[in-house]
Each structure stands twice: as C-alpha cells, then as structure tokens.
Amino acid sequence: MRRIICTLICVAFSGFSLYAADSSNMDLVGSLNTGDRPRAVFVRGDYAYLADSDSGLRIVDISVSSSPVFKGHCAVSNDALGIYVSGDYAYIAGGDNGLSIFDISNPASPSKTSSFVGSEFYDVCVEGDYAYIADGASGLRVLNISNLFLPVEFGHYNTPGSARGVQVKGGYAYVADCTSGLRVVDISNPTLPVEVGYYDTAGESRGIAISGTYAYIADYTNGLRVIDISNPLAPSEVGHYTGSYQPQNIFVLENYAYLASYEKGVRVVNISTPSAMTESGYYDTDGYVYDVYALGNYVYAADDYMGLDIFNFLLSSPLYFIRGYVRTFSGEAVSGVTVTLFKDGIPADAKAVNLAGYYEFINLEPGNYTVRPSKENFEFSPAEISTQTLSGDIKTADFAARQYSRGELTLVGGAKGYVMPLKGEKLKIVLNSEITGAVDIKIYTLSGELVWGKTIAVSPGVNDDTWNCKNTGGGGVASGIYLVYANGAGFDVKKKAAIIR
C-alpha cells in the first residue's frame, strides 16, 4: 500500500479514481469498490467472480475493462476466502462456513445450490467430480461433488502445517501448507489421499500455481519460490525471488508470475529462467492485495477495501481468446459436445461445453486457428470456424447443432423449410449410417418420373450430399413435391421434399 505524503488531484469517473501511482509497466484501467473486502478472484469470459468476505459471491461484468459494473450477488453466512469456477458453478471456500456451491448459469441472478460444513476452508480447486479443499490446520479434504446438491466428503489427509492453497494436476494435489512448505498428495484414490513428497520453503507458503513441471509458491516471508515437480516424489527448489514482498497468492501465465503482494500491491516477475528471475512490473495499490488473476494482457486483483482492480501489463505478449456457444437451431443448449482447437492445422486443445453449451479457449497467441465441434449423431453449422492470423478476441464463435438418429434419412431444406433454387438453395440429403456401404439415392416426381439419381458411399455416422434441384439433363426442375428414395447399406426409406421457384 502506498504511503505518499503529497498533494493528489483525484478525478473520479466510471467507478474509480486517477491518482499518482507508484508503478512500473502496469496501468490501472478500471476499478470497482465492492463495499466489502474481496479475498479472491476468478475470471471467465466477460465476468470476474469474487469471494467478497462477508458479502459472499459477487459477479462483475468486465466486458468493458475501464468500466466494470456489478452483475449479480449471492450471500454466504460467513467469510468468503477462496473461489473456483467450473462450468455453470462457482465454488467458494468460506472459512468455518465450509464450502458453498452457486449456480451461475444466469450471472445476473446467481443462486446457492448447496453447502458443506467445514472448519477452516481457505481455498478450493475443482477437478472432475471432486473438490479439493485447503482446510487450514485440518489439511486437505476431498469432496465428491458429482451430485452438486449433496456434496459429501470422500477423503482427508491431515498435512503437518496449515493448508492455505491447493492446485491439482496429474493425479496429485499440491498443497501450500504454510510453515510446512509444499506438500504433494497422491489423490489417485480420492478416498485415501496420501502424501508422497514435500519441500519445505522455510517460510509461510500461502498460495500456489502449477505450470508445466513447476510449482510456484507465494511464500509470505520468503518471496517467490519455484519448485521442480517433474518427479512429484522428490520436489526440489530451482529458483527463488525474494523481492516480491509478502505474497499472499500467485497466478502464472506464460513467462510471468503475478503476485498478490498484500500491502505492496501487484508484482510481476519474469520466470522464463527460474534460476535468474527478475521483476518486470508492479503496481502499488492503495489497498491490500490478497489474490490476482491474469488473462491476456489484463491483470485482475482482489484489493481488500479497494475492491476489484483491473490493470494492463504493458510487457505481456498479446493474447486473445475464442469463445462461443453450441445450441440447436431453436436456441437450446447442447451438452456433451467436444470443441477442438487447431493451430496451423494441428490439434492444440479440446474443451467440453458446459450445461449452457458454452466453451472458451483463452490466452491464445497470434496465429491461425480453427475450432471444430463434434458429437456422435450430430451435425454442426458451420462445420468449423477458422481465423487467419488471430489478432483480436473472438466472442461469438457459435455453432448450431442438429441431431440425427442412426439409420435415418433426413432432408434439410432451405431457410424456410423448403428449397428455393433461385436463391441458391440446395436440398441437403443426410444419411446417418450404421455400417459402411453404398446408398442409391433416387428422386422422383409424384407421378413416378425419375428426375435425378446418385450413389453415395457411406461410413458409420453422419454422411451427407446435396441435390441442386436439377434433373439428369441439367435443367431446373419445376416447383412441387418430390419423393426422395434411399436404398442400400441398411437404408430402405423415402421422404418428401418441397421445391419452390
């Protein structure tokens, strides 16, 4: 926290003030006083989710970074200290109030789904059907959340110190255990977690981030510690930076570690060489920063009495996101869809959409990207979305989904359900085959005259072809109802199609 004795000229606008700042390579672009004391922040899409002490869950719209605004709120009965967001739910570690789970599918009106009574819940990390809790003096707790309305404890390991932060990767929970440093707990059997390795940082390990084969520890009394966890059974320190000032928590993105440095604001350390780390930027706020989250060029800080601060880190490489929804043509969310991200034609990542059909790929460097959805017995429009040399965020990479039953012939008309060839529309013929083979397609008038035919090779799954509404001689057919026959490879069916000129 800055202690500057000088005359300041403050200009209030858009919810924050401009003031003389003690900073380097960081600009304050927006701020919002929550009215309480936010202790943790998690960012996804256009929203920042705050664990706001006695006020519980606060959701802030950050779509305009310079003008963050309140979106939604839901109270808890005690301190909200840590937060994790997964799918349509936010999980808040609330001290002796335990774990609270909130439905955030409507950010303007979040609602509490359930809770689990705890003793000293500081932090939470969610992976699959389990929530991993840093439970202070009680160590690590594992809750089964497969039924979000009734979380139950599955496992527990009492660490030797006081568990303050937790991250999960590759079958292990990594616990920032205060005066007992880093503890590595095997969670391959969630009912019986067991410690397999540790490294004592000799200070107070309060926060942790995992990136690659390193664990980055926010050690309150000994700065930033970098621990090699390539062998979880024998973690070892490979670097440290002690000029980071009382770090409470940490977030790692690309080559930088962002430290929530309590009364020294936000500090940014270049970690590209762990053995020779240097500070690359900082912003000394007016409050006490407890948590930090980085996304692209922006840094979000939970700044105690000051609320939510949003900074632009000037040295970070430009990073962007691609996000969107998968819905039916009538606008309903489609679950169970996997969206694959390709970079330069090579698969780079894959995400399952949440219950609202939402997906996102964040922190993308400039490049050539394609996103492609997939789900058995479904077809998507468009089939994929590509961008050449990504140079900005893509917020509406949306897909419309249509389901087909196996062994079914489906005819897809134009925009209005019938085909208007003079507007460039064609009849789409979809065959959802159960086997590999050949299907004869023949189209007749109602009087029985054959106007067009083709043999289509099919394989198991959705296959399609088109008819351009022309006869075998290349002439356009007249308006009317036509019969489409499919025969072969298990098909023996006919459907009607309407053509209007």
Strand-pairing partners, residue 176, are 165, 182
Query: What is the torsion angle, in degrees rounded to the nearest 10, for the CA atoms of residue 80, residue 85, residue 87 and residue 89?
Result: 0
Condensed to tens digits (0 to 9), the pLDDT of residues 415-424 reads 677 999 999 9
What CATH number is associated with residue 80? Answer: 2.130.10.10
Do residue 147 and residue 208 come from a single domain?
Answer: yes
Do residue 127 and residue 177 come from a single domain?
Answer: yes
Do residue 152 and residue 55 come from a single domain?
Answer: yes
Q: Do 372 and 346 meet the contact criterion of CB atoms below 8 Å apart? A: no
Question: What would the DSSP string read from start to end of 339-366?
Answer: EEEEETTEEEEEEE--TTSEEEEEEEPS
Q: pLDDT grade, residue 376 (50/70/90)?
A: confident
357-381 burial: b if 16+ Cβ within 10 Å, else e: bbbbbbebeeeebbbbbebeebbbe
Task: Write down the residue that tokens 């389990």 correspond to.
Answer: 130
What pLDDT sits at residue 7? 31
Do residue 157 and residue 142 come from a single domain?
Answer: yes
CA distance 462 to 410: 10
- Of the candidates 252, 401, 378, 402, which has an alpha carbon nearest to the alpha carbon of residue 324? 401
Q: Do 83 and 90 meet the contact criterion of CB atoms below 8 Å apart? A: yes
Do residue 309 and residue 451 come from a single domain?
Answer: no
Task: Give the total number of structural domains in the chain.
Answer: 3
What pLDDT sits at residue 412? 87
What pLDDT sits at residue 309? 97
Do residue 418 and residue 396 come from a single domain?
Answer: no
What pLDDT sits at residue 244? 62
End position of a domain, from candidates 354, 371, 403: 403
What pLDDT sits at residue 12? 36
Question: Which region among 40-44, 76-80, 188-192, 356-360 has the lowest average model confidence (pLDDT)?
Answer: 76-80
Domain interval for residue 153: 23-313
- Half-sphere CA count of 221, side-chain side, radius 13 A: 9
Is 184 inside any structural domain?
Answer: yes
Q: Do 215 and 208 meet the contact criterion of CB atoms below 8 Å apart? A: yes
CA distance 71 to 68: 9
Condensed to tens digits (0 to 9), the pLDDT of residues 300-340 reads 999 998 999 999 998 877 788 999 999 998 899 998 999 99
Q: Pick the residue with more confidence: 84 or 246?
A: 84
Do residue 229 and residue 209 come from a single domain?
Answer: yes
What pLDDT sits at residue 355? 82
Q: pLDDT grade, residue 498 (50/70/90)?
A: very high
End position of a domain, from candidates 403, 429, 456: 403
Q: Do 313 and 26 meet the contact criterion of CB atoms below 8 Å apart? A: yes
Do residue 204 and residue 272 come from a single domain?
Answer: yes
- Of the candidates 269, 277, 275, which has an alpha carbon nearest to the alpha carbon of residue 294? 269
Do residue 181 and residue 300 come from a single domain?
Answer: yes
Do residue 471 and residue 355 come from a single domain?
Answer: no
Do residue 337 and residue 435 come from a single domain?
Answer: no
What pLDDT sits at residue 245? 76
Percentage of the chain with pLDDT > 70?
Answer: 95
Is 165 inside any structural domain?
Answer: yes
What pLDDT sits at residue 18? 43
End position of a domain, from candidates 356, 377, 403: 403
| Mean pLDDT for the stretch of residues 361-375 | 93
Three-point CA angle 97, 99, 101, nearest 5°: 125
Condensed to tens digits (0 to 9), the pLDDT of residues 15-25 reads 444 444 688 99
Condensed to tens digits (0 to 9), the pLDDT of residues 214-257 reads 999 999 999 999 999 999 999 999 999 987 678 999 999 989 99
Summary mean pLDDT of the chain:
91
Q: Do 48 and 68 meet the contact criterion of CB atoms below 8 Å apart? A: yes
